[in-house]
Structure 1
């Protein structure tokens, strides 16, 4: 495989990236990128056009022996019998379905409490969802979006012949399939996915490797209830609609869930890639972006990545399923056969932007000020829930500064409080994951926020352990390429590509800082 090329595709919210990679070493050979339209709902055809443009920019795919697609999770793509997209895909960041998420929780909690279950209905509903599929409904997840379509666009809901995710749909197109004329076979059964992306739908149980069509029927029921006005509260749907919704859910085509190194079927005589390769290009199962990034980082059991972007994401590799009965941790699967418990904060590196704006400084000046203050910021604590928060689940919260006196209210202490507040919010995520039994032996710090010298310097003290900083790179695309090389090789384990480490930061732990933060946030 020394001269064999594979391609990793990253179809994210913002763009499609194509990374042509040496299958033996993991080194980048060529690269292309094309943007997607802005918005929280997008016509998937834009992803197809962006893929083609990015592939061309990357020098084409004729010499590529295998490829795989990593993609933004949770997006809802619904197709009719001819393979046409019924409506624009609702993306993970479309929060229209928040009321439907709450309704689904209430429906699950409606039955009387069993021994050991919470007495309060909402808590009981969340616990039952976690036990069923590993996660409790929030507006991000695919099933809540299906419920939104059923409640607001019942005619569209009734047309659904297949449901898939962004990476599933793009992979299906790359495999040679797509919309067909009336009466022709669109081969919806050729749709495929993997455990990691399927686990983000909340109608797939990764532990049992099975779809829960009964949950899809629950979401579809409002479309068949004549007593429900489109857009109305659908917490209590007429039971007469259940048989129709159940029959529809049973008939819907759901993507085949491939194993971590299974090859997908490619349409005969079709060649979007591998035209110069004997036998053509092999197509891997692909995966969700967080799981693909963990594969790109070479993460193993005991590793946790902390990604600081617009949001903050802490993801761990766990050998066994992880169930957080409060619903704070999402129990996803990874791309290797393990599990990926994940906590997400709405507020990420923008916390530093808020500090910069308040103090009128740039990033370096913010760091210089923070370093002038002692750990604990002279007693000032920032709870950084500027836009509400998901972990912990406080959607209506706002940020707060506490402990301020005339003596300690200095620019240095305020700067330090903003940096410590961001890191403490991520420590919350780590502690939740640790409390569920997942081992945390190494922390990998990635994302734009990792570029901050203040974050890099203070992270090990706040998180309580050394922090490893991989080089800035396209880890979703690298993970997809690594999967493609794995499928191509036929080996039991993925290729051992070298991870470039920019540094390992260490510092004396400052547990009192996190203790003060925990007390302030309550």
Structure 2
């Protein structure tokens, strides 16, 4: 019997590098590995390369094709020789927040959303370019190229050819690639930096980036959120809520969605369609932080949260522990409000953390629906989706059914699916297991009060 055809996908995320090796015929995962990334919001990109090498070492025997998915918005700054001139600035670093505001003021919200598809924040590389120009003129003078992590890792796997490549999904996350126009905007890049910069060539979804010296076919690669949608074979009937280091709400769309308010970033997906997205900086780590405070593990935390009253007896945790991108509170901190002698109990604190994350998710989903997304269910993935209490709170606060697929590595799985596409010219129809389904609590009379509480407290404390 001949050996099965194998393909592989990498997810180079904020916290680690994950590898899945998949049977191309069935979609069955046959091998997996991971390696940690350093903490922090500025990281030497070589550390990501080291993690990729560690995760793939001895794991690619028999693999015919591989694609790399990675964290979006993170900017890697290179000189004319392709060497990094400083630590990469991650998506969740808030140092460029003022630069994003300056760019927004220069063109105005309407022009940004019409020409580019998003309004710049400190997360976007276009704002990081402005920050570099204004704060590190020596490094700015040396800058020749900007790559995102999936671009850079693919380029290194190919031994650094003369031309680097990217895909539509990651190009659309820069702030200087026009989603409506499907091409780079030299006007936006020069507005930010004052002079032209080199950008990688944009590949189509099924194109090959190249072939390694060992004969491994490399797919175009993509951002982690588009990779997750690809791994889920997501359709327009679902909103994907990914609760990991950050929290993103996305939905596949056949055409661009223009949000004049600029809350929804109109980005591209990994199939030739579009992937509007709302991003919050604070996700599962809010639950981790409160569990650590209570000296319990996450399973015990989840059980504790389920023992509290639905509204945590008025206790309100604003979950902006690392600043926040949406709502636009970059210099915010977390806050615990509504504290009384009677409600300050461990179960209410755990419940308040769950409600804080769920209320933020509900707000993001409401913005997607306002912008035209008509999905009737939420698919929750990421580490935070393991929390039963969070899944129930999201269902109740959104009024939508929540589906929790059994597998959680959908970004790496989507990258493997793309690798299959690049290798064979055919996008495989691998089946997914939707696992559990959670319906909204019909008796949650506190729903509107909780949503209003979080919105009002956030606006009052951090809305300026």
Distance change >3 Å, CA 406–CA 152, structure 1 → 2: closer
Deviations 1:153-185 (A, max 9, x none): 32332333322211111111222325xxxxxxx
CA distance in 1 between counterparts of 2:450 and 2:320 reads 12
Instruction: Please name the residue that 2:106 is paired with.
Output: 107
1:280-299 matches, cutoff 5 A: 281-299=216-234
Instruction: Please name the residue that 2:189 is paired with.
Output: 216
Deviations 1:64-87 (A, max 9, x none): 222111011112223333323333
Instruction: Please name the residue that 1:224 is paired with.
Output: none
CA distance in 2 between counterparts of 1:174 and 1:499 reads 30
Distance change >3 Å, CA 397–CA 509, structure 1 → 2: farther
Displacement, 1:309? 2.2
Is residue 413 of structure 2 the alignment partner of residue 478 of structure 1? yes
Q: Is the 8 A contact 2:79 2:145 kept in 1?
A: yes
Instruction: Please name the residue that 1:206 is paired with.
Output: 179
Gaps of 5+ in 1: 109-124, 179-186, 222-244, 275-280
CA distance in 2 between counterparts of 1:72 and 1:393 reads 20
Correspondent of 2:118 among 123, 127, 135: 135
Displacement, 1:361? 5.4
CA distance in 1 between counterparts of 2:324 and 2:443 reads 25
Is residue 143 of structure 2 the alignment partner of residue 160 of structure 1? yes
Is residue 204 of structure 2 the alignment partner of residue 262 of structure 1? no
Deviations 1:339-394 (A, max 9, x none): 11111223323433455466665545544454444433445544434444322212
CA distance in 2 between counterparts of 1:18 and 1:400 reads 37
Q: Secondary structure at the match of 1:47?
A: helix
Number of corresponding residues: 454
Instruction: Please name the residue that 2:459 is paired with.
Output: none
CA distance in 1 between counterparts of 2:343 and 2:14 reads 42
1:121-132 matches, cutoff 5 A: 125-132=108-115
CA distance in 2 between counterparts of 1:42 and 1:351 reads 22
Correspondent of 1:343 among 278, 291, 302: 278
Instruction: Please name the residue that 1:514 is paired with.
Output: 447
CA distance in 2 between counterparts of 1:482 and 1:331 reads 23
CA distance in 1 between counterparts of 2:10 and 2:314 reads 47
Deviations 1:215-252 (A, max 9, x none): 1111222xxxxxxxxxxxxxxxxxxxxxxx2xxx1xx4
1:261-410 matches, cutoff 5 A: 261-266=206-211, 271-272=213-214, 274=215, 281-353=216-288, 355-356=290-291, 363-400=298-335
CA distance in 2 between counterparts of 1:357 and 1:28 reads 33
Distance change >3 Å, CA 154–CA 27, structure 1 → 2: same
CA distance in 1 between counterparts of 2:77 and 2:293 reads 44
Distance change >3 Å, CA 510–CA 396, structure 1 → 2: farther
Q: Is the 8 A contact 2:94 2:323 kept in 1?
A: no
Displacement, 1:141? 0.9
Distance change >3 Å, CA 74–CA 403, structure 1 → 2: closer
1:217-236 matches, cutoff 5 A: 217-221=190-194
- Greater mean deviation of Cα atoms: 411-420 or 438-447: 411-420
TM-score, normalised relative to structure 2: 0.89
Q: Secondary structure at the match of 2:57?
A: helix
CA distance in 2 between counterparts of 1:33 and 1:368 reads 29
Distance change >3 Å, CA 466–CA 162, structure 1 → 2: same
Q: Secondary structure at the match of 2:20?
A: strand
CA distance in 1 between counterparts of 2:44 and 2:338 reads 49
Deviations 1:88-144 (A, max 9, x none): 322223322222212212222xxxxxxxxxxxxxxxx23322222111111111111
Q: Secondary structure at the match of 1:293?
A: helix
Correspondent of 1:468 among 392, 403, 410: 403
Instruction: Please name the residue that 2:160 is paired with.
Output: 177
Q: Secondary structure at the match of 1:423?
A: helix
Structural RMSD (CA): 2.6
Q: Is the 8 A contact 1:341 1:433 kept in 2?
A: yes
- Greater mean deviation of Cα atoms: 128-137 or 510-519: 510-519
CA distance in 1 between counterparts of 2:43 and 2:315 reads 43
Instruction: Please name the residue that 1:10 is paired with.
Output: 11
Q: Secondary structure at the match of 1:10?
A: strand
CA distance in 1 between counterparts of 2:44 and 2:342 reads 56
Q: Secondary structure at the match of 2:113?
A: helix
CA distance in 2 between counterparts of 1:506 and 1:4 reads 40
Look at both structures and tell me which one has the larger radius of gyration over its CA atoms.
Answer: 1
Instruction: Please name the residue that 2:30 is paired with.
Output: 29
TM-score, normalised relative to structure 1: 0.79
Gaps of 5+ in 2: 457-464
Instruction: Please name the residue that 2:461 is paired with.
Output: none
